[in-house]
Amino acid sequence: MYQRIDFPKTDGFPFDQETFDFMQKSFRDCFAGIAAHFGHLVIVSGVDDLGANWGDGWVVIAGELLPFVGGTKAGRVVIQETTEDALFED
């Protein structure tokens, strides 16, 4: 689905949680569409063999484009999602 926000408003643009949610979902949908063409377990870029380590890069796992943080070679890959509570003023 084509999604668009028209930013060039002369009086400014009101950002709110719904706008940021819309933008995040739009980017996620776009990347998911691209990742779907690669398959379910694919190295998109990087992840170079550096001897005892893997380099950083990008991979597709289960149709989702994910950053790959390199490190010591192991027999498995751990997918870790980190969340952080953001403090804000009203």
pTM of the model: 0.65
Structure tokens at 61: 């796992």
Cβ atoms within 10 Å, residue 70: 14
Sole residue written with tokens 């990087």:
46
Q: How many CB atoms lie within 10 A of CB 35?
A: 21
Distance of alpha carbon 25 from alpha carbon 6, whole angstroms: 16
pLDDT of residue 28: 83
Q: How confident is the model at residue 2 (pLDDT cuts 50, 70, 90)?
A: low
Each residue of 23-40: pLDDT tens digit? Answer: 888 888 888 888 888 778
Residues 6+ apart with CB under 8 A from 89: none
